[in-house]
Amino acid sequence: MKISREARRAAREMFRLSLVDGRLNTARVKDISDRLVTEKPRSFLEILKEYTRLVRLELAKRHAVIESALALSEDESSRILADLKTRFGNDITAELRVQPDLLAGIRVKVGSDVWDGSVRNRLNTLSQQL
Amino acid sequence: MSNILQELEAKIEGIQSASTSKTNVGIVREIGDGVAKIEGLSGAMLNEMLEFPGGLYGLALNLEETEVGAIILGDYTKISEGDEVKTTGRLLQVPVGKELLGRVVDSLGQPLDGKGPINAKEFYPVEKIAPGIIKRKSVNQPVQTGIMAIDAMVPVGRGQRELIIGDRATGKTTIALDTILNQAKINQAGEAGGDPNFRPLYSIYVAIGQKNANIARVIGTLEEHDALKYTVIVAASASDSATNQYIAPFSGASIGEWFMQNGQDAIIVFDDLSKHANAYRQISLLLKRPSGREAYPGDVFYLHSRLLERSARLAEGYGNGSLTAFPIIETQAGDVSAYIATNVISITDGQIYLEADLFFQGIRPAISVGLSVSRVGSAAQIKAMKQVAGKIKGDLAQYRELAAFAQFGSDLDARTKATLERGQRVVELFKQTQYQPMDVQLQAAVLWSMQKGYLDTIPVERIKEFQGKLQEFLSTRKESTLSKILAKKQIDEEVEKELAAALEEFKVIFK
Ligand SMILES: Nc1ncnc2c1ncn2[C@@H]1O[C@H](COP(=O)(O)OP(=O)(O)OP(=O)(O)O)[C@@H](O)[C@H]1O
Ligand SMILES: [Mg+2]
């Protein structure tokens, strides 16, 4: 998607205003996006799309995706979640996904960081070393 | 019993968690023309290798707040939007070492010649920090190009960076090729001579953005002269991606550095950096980097300076190895003030400037005396060459000036006439057919006979014939005198006497 430099700058500025103490503030996000849509400045749709992208990336930083080959038990998943909270703070959200092609083990993704303990990953590493 | 089981399980857990690798990932948002925009990858480093699905790799070149711009090292059409990309923690590496000699490889060091795998034992990163100033040693060992005009007037030293610059089809590649052929010739003689202190000089030829036919011509010529075995060819042709063309000279530099770091000597030819700059411009446009003069990205100067900085001669304590660079630049209508040309001129230690006019007049190699310089100068010549070539460059430059207005005046004074006569003969002497590099001892002997006036009585039209026969005479009949020049590295009284006698003898034979 082509986006003009001004639109990008505007989106970034809006994003900055949406943070309170370095954390995304839901009320502000709603307020800012509402104002953008009612005021309709030049290329506001572009700006809104870019702003949404930034918000999505920011949310991803505080959201964990936990993948496992088989569904995790209640006990296992709450242990992992507790571990994530000590690491990343209490406001982290998480979702569980079953991903059979991991073969076994789990893979946790927070933002763009990935901790991969799956058998598939180990096999890939092995096959690269050979 | 249950204790031991728990212990075992704890062990397994320990091993498993230790092998949990932390990486950083991103998602391909845009892909095209060998460049990918990747969202995420917040942990990527500049120049880090990125892994795409299907075993494809890319290089992280642009690090932005929420995006990484990467160039793809392979078939980018296999990558799609939405693909996941991983950091690897590794920098791009190429195989290095003697195993590469005699081989033709691509910009990642993979064989292109169908001669089987290259069993290199070492790998070097493609981007490297140039040797610091402390480790460098001043340049005072010659690289004999075998081209008399260069060895006499713009001598090149080991570790130097000498630019070859000129319009298209003025003989730039041929100069580099002749230099490589001459190293092979010297290496062969040196190996046969059995001197334990002999230092062979290896060559790396990097072809960037050239037609495949030109690359084939270079390989063919090297094979024909049995010089390929001392040479590594790194090829990224015009049909390869801009990415591969961009990386090729850096890979070549790594291959060359291996020789330098291991106490050996090598030369590296970058043919040519004009096309390299174009490949870089193309990549930068795709990465949407801001562009400056002539639409090149602002850091194109830094690109070439960090490449050429890697040539050096290392100090004794660091193995005394060297890497000598011959970058090539193509000019348009002789214009050396174009952006890329001025950049590279300012980075190098001198230039061999080729003139289209001279080339078409049949003065080949078409070296412009006035515009060619070597900042290292005679420090890189053996004494014998200093003795016979000291004044030639100045004299020839003076001749060119005089020749320009001698056409108008008929009554010239005796001194002017003498300068013109001498100049015309030197121009003839310096004409040299391609792929026939000359040994330094023969060059010194020929220039000595010119200096001593033996050519003054020979008509200009017969100089080439005289020279050819003289060289043959000296090489076949006076080999011991030539060997003495090489061994003593100078023309002392004894050699001088022998040369004088040889020339008297030859003058009688030559009619
Ligand atoms: N010293 C020489 N004597 C005779 N022919 C020569 C000499 N040097 C070059 N040539 C011929 O001139 C032509 C151009 O030479 P070369 O390919 O080296 O030039 P170039 O400047 O590298 O050209 P390009 O711009 O295509 O890269 C070739 O056909 C080559 O054989
Ligand atoms: Mg060429």
Distance of CA B330 to the CA centre of its chain: 14
Whether the bond into B272 is cis, omega within 30 of 0: yes
Whether A114 sits inside 8 A of B20 (CB atoms) is no
- Nearest CA owner, ligand 1 atom 25: B168
Whether B66 sits inside 8 A of A115 (CB atoms) is no
Q: What is the pLDDT of residue B364?
A: 95
Confidence band for B117, pLDDT divided at 50, 70 and 90 = very high
Whether A117 sits inside 8 A of B19 (CB atoms) is yes
Residue B436 CB–ligand 1 contact under 6 Å:
no
Q: List pLDDT tens digits, range A65-82.
A: 999 988 888 988 888 889
Q: How close is the Cα of B348 to the center of ligand 1, in Å?
A: 23
Q: What is the pLDDT of residue B292?
A: 86
Task: Among B16, B25, B41, select the one facing A109 at the smallest CB separation.
Answer: B25
Q: What is the pLDDT of residue B266?
A: 97
Please name the amino acid found at residue A56.
Answer: R
Q: Which of A87, A97, A112, A129 to mutate to test the interface with B (most CBs of B within 10 A)?
A: A112
Instruction: Please state, rounded to an integer, the average pLDDT across all residues of chain A.
Output: 86
Report the residue of chain A nearest B25, measured CA to CA.
A112
| Average pLDDT rounded to a whole number, residues B370-378 | 87
Q: Does A99 touch chain B (CB under 8 A)?
A: no
Distance of CA A48 to the CA centre of its chain: 18
Confidence band for B11, pLDDT divided at 50, 70 and 90 = low
Q: What is the pLDDT of residue B139?
A: 76
| pLDDT of B1 strictly over 70 | no
Both tokens of B510, joined, read 């030559």
For residue B168, the ligand 1 atom closest to its alpha carbon is 25
Q: What is the pLDDT of residue B129?
A: 67
Q: How close is the Cα of B142 to the center of ligand 2, in Å?
A: 24
Whether B25 sits inside 8 A of A112 (CB atoms) is yes
Confidence band for B400, pLDDT divided at 50, 70 and 90 = confident
Chain B closest-CA separation from residue A39 CA (Å): 27
Residue B87 CB–ligand 1 contact under 6 Å:
no
| Average pLDDT rounded to a whole number, residues B176-191 | 95
Among B6-10, B149-153, B354-358, B365-369, name the one with the lowest average pLDDT. B6-10
Q: What is the pLDDT of residue B131?
A: 66
Greatest Cα-to-Cα distance within chain A, rounded to the nearest angstrom: 60
Which H/E stretch holds residue B440?
Answer: helix B440-451
Helices (H), chain A: 5-17, 26-39, 44-61, 74-88, 119-129
Handedness of CA B285, B290, B293, B299 (dihedral sign): negative
Residue B432 CB–ligand 1 contact under 6 Å:
yes
Confidence band for B375, pLDDT divided at 50, 70 and 90 = confident
Contacts of B358 (CB under 8 A, 6+ apart): B364, B366, B367, B368
| pLDDT of B20 strictly over 70 | no
Give which of B41, B151, B192 is closest to B384, Cα–Cα: B151
Whether B17 sits inside 8 A of A117 (CB atoms) is yes
| pLDDT of B203 strictly over 70 | yes
Task: Among B21, B24, B42, select the one facing A121 at the smallest CB separation.
Answer: B21
Please name the amino acid found at residue B8.
Answer: L
Which-ligand-closest: CA of B167?
1
| pLDDT of B130 strictly over 70 | no
Q: What is the pLDDT of residue A113?
A: 87
A122 interaction partners in chain B (CB closer than 8 Å): 19
Give which of A43, A53, A49, A85 is closest to A66, Cα–Cα: A85
| Average pLDDT rounded to a whole number, residues B150-154 | 95
For residue B431, the ligand 1 atom closest to its alpha carbon is 1
Residue B282 CB–ligand 1 contact under 6 Å:
no
Q: Which residues surround ligand 2, an ion (CB under 5 A)?
A: B 173
Whether B66 sits inside 8 A of A112 (CB atoms) is no
Q: What is the pLDDT of residue B334?
A: 92
Whole-number Å distance between alpha carbons of B378 and B68: 49
Q: What is the pLDDT of residue B406?
A: 72
In this prediction the pTM is 0.86
ipTM above 0.85, yes or no: no
Whether B20 sits inside 8 A of A115 (CB atoms) is yes
- Please state, for a pLDDT cut of 90, what percent of chain B lies above it: 71
Q: What is the pLDDT of residue B254?
A: 96
Q: What is the pLDDT of residue B376?
A: 82
Whole-number Å distance between alpha carbons of B396 and B502: 26
Which-ligand-closest: CA of B330?
1
B88 phi/psi in degrees, rounded to 5: -120, -15
Among A61-65, B98-102, B251-255, B354-358, name the one with the lowest average pLDDT. A61-65
| Strand pairing category for B322-330 and B265-271 | parallel
Residue B160 CB–ligand 1 contact under 6 Å:
no
Q: What is the pLDDT of residue A23?
A: 85
* pLDDT lower than 70: segments of chain A: 1-2, 129-130
| Average pLDDT rounded to a whole number, residues B262-271 | 96
| Average pLDDT rounded to a whole number, residues B410-421 | 81
Task: Among A57, A115, A122, select the one facing B22 at the smallest CB separation.
Answer: A115
Confidence band for B358, pLDDT divided at 50, 70 and 90 = very high
Q: What is the pLDDT of residue B216?
A: 95
Q: How close is the Cα of A28 to the center of ligand 2, in Å?
A: 62
Higher pLDDT, B154 or B370: B154
Residue B241 CB–ligand 1 contact under 6 Å:
no
Both tokens of B115, joined, read 């001669």
- Nearest CA owner, ligand 1 atom 15: B171
Q: Does A85 touch chain B (CB under 8 A)?
A: no
| Average pLDDT rounded to a whole number, residues B387-409 | 82
Q: List pLDDT tens digits, range B422-442.
A: 899 999 999 999 999 999 999
Give the count of Cβ contacts less than 8 A between chain A and B.
Answer: 43
Chain B closest-CA separation from residue A58 CA (Å): 10
- Please state, for a pLDDT cut of 70, what percent of chain B lies above it: 94
Report the residue of chain A nearest B14, measured CA to CA.
A117
Active-site residue list of B = 375
| Average pLDDT rounded to a whole number, residues B111-128 | 92
B16 interaction partners in chain A (CB closer than 8 Å): 105, 117
Higher pLDDT, B311 or B131: B311
Q: What is the pLDDT of residue B167?
A: 96
Handedness of CA B8, B13, B18, B20 (dihedral sign): positive
A121 interaction partners in chain B (CB closer than 8 Å): 21
Whether A117 sits inside 8 A of B42 (CB atoms) is no
Q: What is the pLDDT of residue B503?
A: 94
Confidence band for B409, pLDDT divided at 50, 70 and 90 = low
Q: What is the pLDDT of residue B2?
A: 58
